[in-house]
Structure 1
Amino acid sequence: MRSSLRYSALVATVALFASCKSQLNPTVSNERYYQIDSALQADTGIVNYYAPYKAKLETEMNRVIGVSEVALTKDGSAESLVGNFFADALLWKGKQLDPEVQASFGTKGGIRSGLKAGNISVGNIFEMMPFENAVTVLTLSGKDMLRWADFMAKTGGQPVSGVKLEIRDGKVANFLVQGKPIDPNATYKLVTYDYLANGGDYVTCFDNVLARKDHTQRIRETLMEYVSELTKNGKHIQGKIDGRVRIAK
């Protein structure tokens, strides 16, 4: 009997809400706007909670890991100081992960900032590469290496290492990998990062790779390791334009 009564009550309640649904028209009254500025006092409880973590983070971000003798500028040119630094660091790590890696590749848009001359901190590297992109090694046919070169030519050059690319009228005029012309029947190993390997930045030349190896090593970690290794060996970052990507007149 009790279960029957509970069921009847439930049905009645559902019916009531169903009948009222179309009549409900909630409105907002007594609107108030709150000004958020320096006059708004911080919640000391919250501040005291996160302050130790903030201090620890700032200490790490301000930690100096190396020195650059020149400012590594980011200017959108076919070849840039920061692009060469970035690609050289990537090739250095790629060869550690796979000694058969011959070239490296990034994009101008993926490098978010340059580096100032002088002390280089962890925070500076985060500014350059704030994303969680990780190292990827691709095995490509000679034909797809030529497609890669075409992409770079059409986009006015991109950060690379291990190659020399000459562009004329938006087309490949000359392309060498480790000082040699591409053999269409050979295979090559290229180190880049997962975002580009997945087709990011409109990269379409990696849609038919022969093999792919994704690593957990993040690009940001690679850059920090590269700078730290230079420092360990008593060296500074040496930025220079060496003609690896050139637009012919």
Structure 2
Amino acid sequence: MKYFTSPRFFVLLCLTVGLANASCNRHFVLRKGGMYTRFPMDSTITDDPAFVRLYAPYKQQLDAEMNRVVGRTAVALTKPGNVPETLLGNFFADALLTEGRKLHPEAEFSFGTKGGLRTELMQGDITVGHLFELMPFENELVVLELSGASVLQLAQFAASTGGQPMAGMRLHIANGHAADIRIGGAPLDTARTYTLVTYDYLANGGDNSRGLENPVNRINLGKKVREALIDYVSGLSHDGQHINTKLDGRITTDE
């Protein structure tokens, strides 16, 4: 795995920093008749031994941490695009809810999106690097208190997009619409307020999500989603358990 540690990356970084420090302007304008030199960022760039020696200790530390095994999955956690419920989505949503409840015990369900999960996890050892690849963003856990009407909107969004990762919530998709919506095993009550664990990207309107834009209350938990995933997997490993996520029918469809 490469975590931006190649010499080419550092050359590009140095050039970028140099340009950023060269001027306070927001942009550069190429003057008429101006001269420029093109620097191709490819295999023609050779390693600078002095520079390699400089960053080598940091790269070793980074590689050691990224290769650290935090757990193991007994099944491949995949996310085929043509089904409403996936093993990867269930794993992710279960992790959000479990770790979210440690910080906010009143949390009732969790929600994410398929697009936010950037890789699959193959059967076998799970390293810190695998979880960085799964969630490479700086997203943080958020608790939202939602009206029942907003939860209905969220369920309809999930149904209209073919199903999304969720835990503590179940629904049936019929002709692209959500039906038989249940939170914690009980039918959705639009007169109630519910407590959701998600992440700031979605809470801020990312992925064109619906139902999250007008929460009754919002609590930022101050923990990155990636850290929550690492803690979830590490916790299972500490208890002598492997990940053994199953498809449990939390999202069903007529098709």
Normalising by the smaller structure, the TM-score range is 0.7 to 0.9
- Count of equivalent residues: 224
CA deviation string 1:56-78 (max 9, x = no partner): 10010000010101110121221
TM-aligned CA deviation for residue 100 of structure 1: 1.0
Partner of 2:68: 63
TM-aligned CA deviation for residue 34 of structure 1: 6.1
Partner of 2:50: 45
Mapping of residues 87-98 of structure 1, within 5 Å: 87-98=93-104
CA deviation string 1:82-132 (max 9, x = no partner): 000000000001111111110000000001111010111000001100000
Mapping of residues 1-249 of structure 1, within 5 Å: 26-28=33-35, 37-38=42-43, 40-76=45-81, 77-249=83-255
In structure 2, runs of 5+ residues without a counterpart are 1-30
CA distance in 2, matches of 1:35, 1:112: 28
Q: Radius of gyration: which is bigger? A: 1
TM-score normalised according to structure 1 size? 0.86
CA distance in 2, matches of 1:133, 1:221: 10
User: Which secondary structure does the structure 2 equivalent of 1:230 belong to?
Assistant: helix
Letter in 2 for 1:97: L
CA distance in 2, matches of 1:100, 1:25: 63
TM-score normalised according to structure 2 size? 0.84
Letter in 1 for 2:76: A
TM-aligned CA deviation for residue 40 of structure 1: 3.9
User: Which secondary structure does the structure 1 equivalent of 2:248 belong to?
Assistant: coil
CA deviation string 1:110-158 (max 9, x = no partner): 0111101011100000110000000000001111111111111111110
CA distance in 2, matches of 1:121, 1:180: 37
TM-aligned CA deviation for residue 27 of structure 1: 4.3
CA distance in 2, matches of 1:173, 1:34: 57
User: Which secondary structure does the structure 1 equivalent of 2:179 belong to?
Assistant: strand
CA distance in 1, matches of 2:237, 2:66: 17
